[in-house]
Amino acid sequence: MRLLNNLDLIRYLLILALLYLSYIDLRSFRLPDFVTLPLIIAGILFNQLSPISFVDPVSAVTGAAIGYGSLWLLNRLYRLTKKQDGIGMGDAKLLAALGAWLGWAALPSILLIASVSGLIGGLIYLKWRKKNTRHAFPFGPFLAFAGIIELLWPQHLLPFLLSNLP
């Protein structure tokens, strides 16, 4: 029987945190700062100080900034056109945390997986709750799902897409 190594333990703890956030978001439509903000800081510090980091420190800080900034900008644009929020800032903080842990290069894969699974899962969620498609549904569980997929099986989507350009 193989004992867990330190990197496996970190992965499992991160997965537990993501599952906890998913549960909270499904129940309350909230991703609490008392979990997301320390997750961002822990991801940056882990990649800065640990000899077994997932990515280099610059990629971690850049990932946190791009993760938060991309969803903040998307929400700002939605707010300008629709006069209401389209995505919660808890989702932006969760994506920032994923960027801090997995680096900026993982963000396109995370967003693609979260968007596709969110589209399918959101429709199932709305049908199950007997709501129409104008009703909100939590996006955090889909971000967490995508983060877990990327954590366990890195997709390397960006290099794949860039290598297939004409």
pLDDT tens by residue, 101-136 = 999 999 999 999 999 999 999 888 778 878 776 677
CB atoms within 10 A of CB 2: 5
Domain map (residue ranges) of the chain: 6-163
pLDDT tens digits, 141-153: 999 999 999 999 8
| pLDDT greater at residue 103 or residue 156 | 103
- CA dist., res. 3 & res. 28, Å (int): 37
CA–CA separation, 116 and 156 (whole Å)? 17
